[in-house]
Structure 1
C-alpha cells in the first residue's frame, strides 16, 4: 500500500506561481491521477487516495480556501479553479491524465473538461455537483448551508460511523477544518446554488471517456441525477456503488479506486 505524503506542509505545491496548495502525492506509476476533492476533510479521503496510488501517481490538492490552502483574492469562482488546474496541467507537461472529481470537485472537473481536454485522458465524476437538471423550482441538491449537521450526516453517509458526529465532542482541529471548508464552499457555490446554469449547454464538448459514479444511497443528490448527468456527456458510462452515500470515496474507497483504474484501461 502506498501511503500519500503531504508535499511541503508549509507551502504545498505551487499549482501556478504564487498559489501554493496543501497537496498529497503518492504512487510511482507513469499513469497520473489528479484528484479534486469535495468539501470533506482531507483525512476522510486518505484510504481512497492510498488505494488509488497502487495504480496511479496521485496528486490531490486542497482547493484554495479549503484545508490549509490559502485562497488568493482573485480566486472567487469555480471558473477560477478550473483555469488554475488547467494551467497547472499545461505547465506540468503531463498528458493522458485521469481527472477524478469528488462531489464539489466533480463540478470543477466538469468546468475543466468543457474548456479543454487536451491533457485529460479520462474523467471520473463521483456524485458530482455543478449541473442543475431539474426545473427552476426543483431542488436538485439538499440545502447544505441550511440543513443541521446531524441531518446532513444522515443524508451524506449510509453508515454513520463515517460521520464526524457531535461537533461539540469532535477534535477541535477537525471542526476547524470542516468550518473552513464550509466557508470556502459558500464562497464558490452560494449563488447560484452549487451549479453553473450554463454548464449543461457545454457538456457536449467533453471529448474523453467519462465515467459517472454515484453512491446508491446518496441522500444529498439522488442517483437519478447522476444518470441524467451521464446522459448529457457523450458516451459516458454510469456506475452505481451500493451501500454508499454521497461520498463513496469515504465509505467504499477500494471499490471506487477499482472503478477509477477500470476507467483507465
Structure 2
C-alpha cells in the first residue's frame, strides 16, 4: 500500500511510502491534480515549467526511484515497475481525472501507465517521449545518448545548447553528482532494449483518454517524425510541434507547453 506522508517542509510536502518504497515528492499550486513525470534531466531542471503549470493545477512531481533524492529499491528496475508504482499511488490516493504529463523518459512511463489502466487518468500529455520502436530492425530511432560527447548531447537536447548544463568540469560538484546519478538510473531502466518497449506501440490503442503529444521541432534525440508516429498510434491523439525547442522542450519553452497542457485539460 502506498500513502502520502506530509513532511512539513514548505512546498516539499511529502514522501510516498509503501513497503520499501520512498519517493521524494514536490507538490505546488492549486486546482485539479496533475502528475508530472520527469525525464533524464530530473525534476529540478523543470522548475519553470512546473511553476507555470502550478498557476492552474496542483502539481505533484515525484523523483523516480534512482533519480534525484529518491532511493531505488532492488526490485524496482524496469519501466513496468514505475508504471505500476504510480498507478498504485493514484489508486491509494483515490484520485480521479488526473492530468498525467510525461516528459521524455517520463513520457514512456506515462504511456505504459495509460495502456494498463486509464480509469483514474483524465488527460494524457506526452512531451518528446521515448518508449516505442518506429523504424526497422537496423534503424536507430533514438540517438544513443550514452555514446556521444557532452557537447553533442547538449546540441541534440536543446535548440539552443546554452540552455543545457554546459561544461560539467565547471559545474558545482553536487550538480555533477546529481546528473551522474540520473544518467545511471536512465541506463538501468532503459539499457536493453534501448529506451523502448518493443510491445508498447502495439498496445497504445488501449489508451482511451484524450491524449496530446508535444514535440520540440529541433529535437535531435528523437525526430518529429517519430513523434507523429507516436501520436498516430494513440486513438484520437493530437500532435503539436513547438518551434525553438529541442528534446527537452519543457526547459526551453515552458510557458508555451504549459498553455498547451491547460488547453488540452480544458
The two structures have a TM-score, normalised by structure 2, of: 0.94
Unaligned runs of 5+ residues in structure 1 are none
Alignment map for 1:137-176 (pairs within 5 Å): 137-176=138-177
The equivalent of 1:187 in structure 2 is 188
CA contact (8 A) 2:43 2:62 kept: no
**What SS class does the counterpart of residue 75 from structure 2 fall into?**
coil
**Structure 2: distance between partners of 1:177 and 1:260:** 28
The answer to whether structure 1 residue 23 and structure 2 residue 25 are counterparts is yes
Unaligned runs of 5+ residues in structure 2 are 1-9
The answer to whether structure 1 residue 6 and structure 2 residue 7 are counterparts is no
- Superimposed CA distance per residue, residues 170-210 of structure 1 (whole angstroms, 9 cap, x where no aligned partner): 11111101000000001100000000001011011000000
The equivalent of 1:78 in structure 2 is 79
Tell me which stretches of 4 or more aligned residues in structure 1 moved more than 4 Å: none
CA contact (8 A) 1:131 1:229 kept: yes
Alignment map for 1:64-143 (pairs within 5 Å): 64-143=65-144
Q: CA deviation at 1:42?
A: 3.0
CA-based RMSD of the aligned residues comes to 1.1
Q: CA deviation at 1:131?
A: 0.6
**Structure 2: distance between partners of 1:41 and 1:201:** 28
**Structure 2: distance between partners of 1:185 and 1:260:** 25
Q: CA deviation at 1:17?
A: 4.2
CA contact (8 A) 1:16 1:87 kept: no
The equivalent of 1:36 in structure 2 is 37
**How many aligned residue pairs are there?**
257
**Structure 2: distance between partners of 1:50 and 1:16:** 28
- Superimposed CA distance per residue, residues 146-179 of structure 1 (whole angstroms, 9 cap, x where no aligned partner): 1111110011111122111111101111110100
The two structures have a TM-score, normalised by structure 1, of: 0.95
